[in-house]
Amino acid sequence: MSDAPGGGAVQAPATPPTQPSNDQNPQSNAKKSKPAPAEGEKKLSAAELKKQKQAEKQARRAAAKTSSDAPAIQKENPPKGGQKQQKDSKQAPKDDKSRPLPIRRRPSQSNVPTAKEVKKDKKDTRPTDLFFGHLYTQPRLHSTAGATKDVHPAILALGLQYSSYVICGSTARMVAMLLAFKAVIESYQTPVGTSLARHLTSHHLSPQIDYLRSCRSLSISMGNAIRWLKDLIIKIDPSTPEAEAKRDLLYEIDNFIRERVTMADQLIAETAVKKIEPGDVILTYASSSIVEQSLLRAHQNGVDFSVIVVDSKPLFEGKRLARNLAKHGLRVRYFLISGSAHAVKDATKVFLGAHAMMSNGRLYSRVGTALVSMLASSMSIPVIVLCESVKFTERVALDSIVTNEVAPADELLSEPERQALLPLKPKSEEGEEEGQDTKGVMKWIESAENLQILQVLYDVTPAEYINMVITEYGSLPPSSVPVVHRLSTNT
Amino acid sequence: MAQSSGAVAPGLSSFLASLKTTPVEPSIEHLISLLKRRQIRNSRPCAVATTALLLRVVGEFKGKNSAKLVDRIRQVGKRLTSAQPREVVVGNIVRRVLGLVREVVEENLDVDTTATSDVGQNAPHSDALHRPSLHSSISTFSPLKHAAAEPHEIASFPEEMSDSGELVKRPPLLSSHTSAAPMVNSLFGLFSQPDTPSTSNTPTGHQSPDSKAMLTSVNLERLADFSSSKFDMKAEVMDGIRELQDELDQSDDLMAAYALDHIHANEIVLTHTASTSVQKFLLAAARKRKFTVVHVETHPHDHHATHSALLTGKKRDGHEGEDEDAWKPLRLAGVRVVMIPDSHVFAIMSQVNKVILATHTVLANGALVAASGARMIASAAKAHRTPVVVVSGVYKLSPVYPFNTEELIECGDAGTVVPYEDGDFVDLVDVENPLYDYVPADLVDLYITNIGGHAPSYLYRIVADHYRTEDITL
């Protein structure tokens, strides 16, 4: 129930492509006498769609057993907001035989985590509903335990890499996902009776995406890529032989990565290098692959400049960047975000990576970016964002609260910090043998009344702090983001 | 060196304990070494230690000559401040004590001069004598030139003891002026103090029939040792220092008394560091009102203390004794506490009603030096039009004018930013860890001190009330 707003928001880009496939469903389902749901479905968000699809399946079984009560139920469901409990209770009086079905299906479906989620939510609402209450949906999956059997091993591995931040960063996640999808498509075989175009997206790719989402919410670029892929699959002529269709898909995916990421990065780096002049001090925040690429290229070109890396808890992404740059012979200084006022003072330009560029020109990026760009613009230092157009989105944001990704609070306290709290922990409450390690500290903090540790991953930088956005289409002001977004999606 | 038992880490408590048994000179050395080794850090411990030491210095002072006492205190103060110039509070306390001595002497002088008030006819002469030296005694560093025009500042008797050094250095200058025509003198004054805000200010001091302004040099010479018979200067100064100690003790509570004027129900307040003053301030408000505190953890140097303060109300970080810095944690007082990392400040700021900053030092121009991160918090607050309130005891208020803000910033241990296990990283990259931030006055909306709330633009006046212009340069 509570996942509807959060999940819906994240999934929004994924929704439209699924609709055509659903529009086609009625045709195939027509034999099973189910023409009804098409109109209702269009208004639904993806989360609701998912539930409805389950309901469809249940209904289909019910329809196979009994006669045709199910369509009637289906008709009723969509306006109700797809709430499972409600639906069950609705079903109960109408069709007694279909009632045990959902229960039976649950273990195999990805319902197990959802059931947990409801429980967890009740516990969480107490401390967390202050700012980001609407974002606390589903605890992140850190194992493959909850996964459906449909999920491809490559995706399972990828999901774990996501949730543990092994693969981190908008572009990296998108590329990794597309590569994993290649493996999925390669091993895919269209079941008899359907075509690849109709079956692949909704029945095979969707569980994969759902699993990835349960590991960590999808990035904007991932959403864009998924939308593009779904679009591509739907456009495949059903008459194309399966092998050929798959080959085309794989080729297109490679092409996408090459065009939208690899080449785009090169173009951006080329432009960005021109902005670096001898004697410059380039400040960057956290870590961005494209910023790193640009700086290294400028260094190879023999431009004499130095770099300041500002970093923050808990991911310390900038450390890797700083180390890498320094290994290539650049002069690097390293600050934490609390010293950013001092770091910005010494800088002459600020290069930032992006998670996404919003249509209102705002930059959605690693939390802390807004602080750095605010300080830089208050000192009249140009702030330049390097961003591939694949990260542009038609969504808009005004603050960092409405849309964001909440990270588990326990990530925030590092091991030494927990260790430091250890002596302070009251011993009397629980067994001493249990509470004396750092896990006990975490438990203590979690159970501490009125105390909440908050961690989100992104923030939104106002457009007025950004002087320039460099994309593969050229350098533009943030106000041109929507134009470029239209340009890049229409072609 | 007289340090207490090995079990206790050297710090404020061990210093205070040793102070009772150690002679003065080793105690001074002890404090200097503690300051140098940063074993006494932060404003309050420094202030407490300095006051305790000065109390002892005054107590041990032999002789009745107030000028010598001023010299002695100033000399100790110089050593202490040069040991750790960025702990501005040390200098503040020394200046306060110097001011105290002057005040004590002055009061008694008052009594004395009213008794011998027949010196009135010498007024013009003394005027001429003292005006140039007054200017020389006001530090060019200080924004207090205007404030100095207050009558009691002009009371010029203390030349003898305050600036005896300067006087000694400049007798030819002075005498040449006195021998010259008064015209030259007034012109000199005109040029050396071109920015006196209102012309009425300077004359008031001189025209007032205040007996203090009418001292003759003869009188001054007599004053140097008049104290021998009349009063116990030392006891009065020591009383004054004890009052100062009381002020240090009570300033948090006094500031907390204003809390209800500033925090309304259901407010969301953002603060940083584990400052005792701020915690007590919020706690006082929590007794009456329910609100939410967003606590920025101030990562590389104060996060341990912040965590423990939030959880238990104890700062385990400092070396202070366990007696004074334990309080009920805010969360148990019914305040909802949300701890965020420093990077989240901008993201959360749109939801915050008020920012309350703790500070390390407040400077005379209304700017402050606070734990690093304060600048970005204040800037983010400005960007969101969120009022910024600074809670600070008057003892943190310094007459120092920040011409170079860089020199006020201390850089800390880089190992707290990147652990030394990351050897290759530390080798390759310059890791920096500034401990303090300079926050300009225009980012601050309000100061709350133990004597009330003030606009940043008014602080210079409070500085003028608490410090003597003669003491600004130690």
| A349–chain B nearest CA distance, Å | 18
Q: Which of A336, A337, A424 sits opposite B308 (nearest CB)?
A: A424
Q: Which CATH number fits domain A140-275: 3.40.50, 1.20.120, 2.30.30, 3.90.1570?
A: 1.20.120
Does one domain contain both B283 and B208? no
Does one domain contain both B45 and B95? yes
Structure tokens at A288: 């961005």
Cβ count within 10 A of residue B175? 11
Is A319 in contact with B343 (Cβ distance < 8 A)? no
For residue A452, the cross-strand partners are: B338
Q: Which of A423-437, B62-76, B256-270 has the highest mean pLDDT?
A: B256-270
| pLDDT grade for A407, boundaries at 50, 70 and 90 | confident
User: Which residues on chain B are in Cβ contact (under 8 Å) with A295?
Assistant: none
User: Which residues on chain B are in Cβ contact (under 8 Å) with A413?
Assistant: 307
- Residue B199 falls inside a structural domain: yes
Structure tokens at B416: 């707290």
Evaluate if residue A276 carries a pLDDT over 70: yes
- Residue B64 falls inside a structural domain: yes
| pLDDT grade for A55, boundaries at 50, 70 and 90 | low
Radius of gyration of chain B from its Cα atoms, rounded to whole angstroms: 24
Is A341 in contact with B303 (Cβ distance < 8 A)? no
Residues of chain A with CATH 1.20.120: 140-275
Evaluate if residue A10 carries a pLDDT over 50: no
- Residue B252 falls inside a structural domain: no
Q: For B373-429, write each residue's pLDDT tens digit.
A: 999 999 999 999 999 999 999 999 999 888 888 888 888 888 888 888 888 888 889
Does one domain contain both B33 and B167? yes
Evaluate if residue B15 carries a pLDDT over 70: yes
| Confidence at residue A370, expressed as pLDDT on a 0 to 100 scale | 95
Is A336 in contact with B417 (Cβ distance < 8 A)? yes
| pLDDT grade for B320, boundaries at 50, 70 and 90 | very low
Range name among A95-104, A121-130, A252-261, A375-384 with the lowest pLDDT average: A95-104
| Confidence at residue A135, expressed as pLDDT on a 0 to 100 scale | 79
- Residue B2 falls inside a structural domain: no
Provide the CB-side half-sphere exposure for B64 (13 A, CA): 10
Does one domain contain both B223 and B265? no
Residues 352 to 381 of A: which have CB under 8 A from any B CB?
A: 366-368, 370-371, 374-375, 378
| B266–chain A nearest CA distance, Å | 12
Instruction: Indicate the Cα dihedral angle A122, A125, A126, A128, nearest 10°.
Output: 150
- The three-state secondary structure class of B402 is coil
CATH number at residue B341: 3.40.50.10470
Q: For B78-119, write each residue's pLDDT tens digit.
A: 999 999 888 899 999 999 999 999 988 888 877 665 554 444
**Percentage of the residues of chain B whose pLDDT score is greater than 90:** 41
Count of A–B CB contacts within 8 Å? 185
| Confidence at residue B403, expressed as pLDDT on a 0 to 100 scale | 87
- Residue B170 falls inside a structural domain: yes
- Closest C-alpha among A382, A442, B77 to residue A434: A442
Evaluate if residue A90 carries a pLDDT over 70: no
Range of the domain at B239: 12-246
Is B429 in contact with A399 (Cβ distance < 8 A)? no
Helices (H), A143-263: 153-163, 170-186, 196-199, 206-215, 220-234, 242-256
Does one domain contain both B291 and B406? yes
Q: Which of B307, B346, B433 sits opposite A417 (nearest CB)?
A: B307
Determine the average pLDDT of the residues in B26-45.
90
Relative to beta strand B436-439, strand B368-371 is antiparallel
A281 or B193, which is more confident: A281
Distance, in Å, from the CA atom of B371 to the CA atom of A406, rounded to the nearest integer, reads 27
Nearest CA in chain B to A132: B348
Q: For A179-223, write each residue's pLDDT tens digit.
A: 999 999 999 888 888 888 888 888 889 999 999 998 888 999 999
User: Which residues on chain B are in Cβ contact (under 8 Å) with A338?
Assistant: 298-300, 342, 371-373, 376
Q: What average pLDDT does chain A have?
A: 77
Nearest CA in chain A to B406: A342
Does one domain contain both B395 and B425? yes
8 Å CB contact between B92 and B395: yes
| Confidence at residue B424, expressed as pLDDT on a 0 to 100 scale | 86
Helix, strand, coil percentages for chain A (3-state, nearest 5) = 60, 10, 30
- Closest C-alpha among A289, A273, A257, A462 to residue A378: A462
Q: Which of B303, B344, B375 sits opposite A341 (nearest CB)?
A: B375
Q: Which CATH class is domain A278-402+458-490?
A: alpha beta
B84 or A446, which is more confident: B84
SS (H, E, C) B81-100: HHHCCCCHHHHHHHHHHHHH
Place of tokens 């067994």: A431
Distance, in Å, from the CA atom of B452 to the CA atom of B441, rounded to the nearest integer, reads 18
Distance, in Å, from the CA atom of B146 to the CA atom of B144, rounded to the nearest integer, reads 5
Is B375 in contact with A327 (Cβ distance < 8 A)? no
Provide the CB-side half-sphere exposure for B213 (13 A, CA): 21
User: Which residues on chain A are in Cβ contact (under 8 Å) with B335?
Assistant: 450
Is A333 in contact with B430 (Cβ distance < 8 A)? yes
| Confidence at residue A82, expressed as pLDDT on a 0 to 100 scale | 40
A457 touches chain B (CB under 8 A): no
| Confidence at residue A175, expressed as pLDDT on a 0 to 100 scale | 95
Determine the average pLDDT of the residues in A280-287.
95
| pLDDT grade for A56, boundaries at 50, 70 and 90 | low
A135 touches chain B (CB under 8 A): no
| Confidence at residue A181, expressed as pLDDT on a 0 to 100 scale | 94
Range name among A252-266, A365-379, B274-288, B377-391 with the lowest pLDDT average: B274-288
Is A374 in contact with B303 (Cβ distance < 8 A)? no
User: Omega before A314 cis (within 30°)?
Assistant: yes
- CA A384-B341-A443 angle, to 5 degrees, is 145
**Percentage of the residues of chain A whose pLDDT score is greater than 70:** 70
Exposure pattern of A275-298 as b/e (b: 16+ CB <10 Å)?
bbeeebbbbbbbbbbbbbbbbbbb
Evaluate if residue B142 carries a pLDDT over 50: no
Evaluate if residue A7 carries a pLDDT over 60: no
Q: Estimate to the nearest angstrom the gap between the alpha carbon of B114 and the chain centroid.
A: 33
Please say which residue of B220, B246, B272 terminates a domain.
B246
| Confidence at residue A130, expressed as pLDDT on a 0 to 100 scale | 72
| pLDDT grade for B197, boundaries at 50, 70 and 90 | very low
Please say which residue of B246, B273, B288 terminates a domain.
B246
Does one domain contain both B341 and B433? yes
| B404–chain A nearest CA distance, Å | 14
| Confidence at residue A432, expressed as pLDDT on a 0 to 100 scale | 45
Q: For A408-417, write each residue's pLDDT tens digit.
A: 888 888 888 8
Evaluate if residue B299 carries a pLDDT over 50: yes
Distance, in Å, from the CA atom of A156 to the CA atom of A114, rounded to the nearest integer, reads 18
Does one domain contain both B191 and B265? no
Does one domain contain both B344 and B241? no
| B295–chain A nearest CA distance, Å | 9
Nearest CA in chain A to B371: A338
Does one domain contain both B164 and B268? no
Distance, in Å, from the CA atom of B471 to the CA atom of B132, rounded to the nearest integer, reads 17
Does one domain contain both B237 and B263? no
- Residue B299 falls inside a structural domain: yes
- Residue B73 falls inside a structural domain: yes
| Confidence at residue B317, expressed as pLDDT on a 0 to 100 scale | 46
Residues of chain A with CATH 3.40.50.10470: 278-402+458-490
- DSSP letters spanning B32-97: HHHHHTTSS-SHHHHHHHHHHHHHHHHHH--SS-HHHHHHHHHHHHHHHHHHSTT-HHHHHHHHHH
Q: For B203-215, write each residue's pLDDT tens digit.
A: 433 444 444 444 4
Determine the average pLDDT of the residues in B315-321.
49
Q: For B327-366, write each residue's pLDDT tens digit.
A: 788 888 889 999 899 999 999 999 999 999 999 999 989 9
| Confidence at residue B313, expressed as pLDDT on a 0 to 100 scale | 76
What is the sign of the dihedral through the CA atoms of A283, A287, A290 and A296? positive
Determine the average pLDDT of the residues in A315-342.
93
Range name among A243-247, B51-55, B129-133, B188-192 with the lowest pLDDT average: B129-133
Is A456 in contact with B375 (Cβ distance < 8 A)? no
Does one domain contain both B204 and B288? no
Number of domains in chain B: 2
For residue A385, the cross-strand partners are: A352, A469
Distance, in Å, from the CA atom of A282 to the CA atom of B350, rounded to the nearest integer, reads 29
Is A338 in contact with B308 (Cβ distance < 8 A)? no
| A373–chain B nearest CA distance, Å | 10
Relative to beta strand B430-431, strand B452-454 is unpaired
Preferred mutation among A313, A338, A421, A457 to probe B, highest tally of B CBs within 10 A: A338
Please say which residue of B222, B246, B270 terminates a domain.
B246
- Residue B398 falls inside a structural domain: yes
User: Which residues on chain B are in Cβ contact (under 8 Å) with A424?
Assistant: 308, 311-312, 314, 316
Alpha carbon distances (Å) from A47 to A10, A71, A81, A158 = 10, 20, 10, 22
| B324–chain A nearest CA distance, Å | 17
| B106–chain A nearest CA distance, Å | 45
Place of tokens 């329910």: B290
For residue B268, the cross-strand partners are: B292
Q: Which of A29-33, B18-22, B353-357 has the highest mean pLDDT?
A: B353-357
Residues 318 to 347 of A: which have CB under 8 A from any B CB?
A: 319, 322-323, 326-327, 331-343
Helix, strand, coil percentages for chain B (3-state, nearest 5) = 60, 10, 30
- DSSP letters spanning B272-288: ETT-HHHHHHHHHHHTT
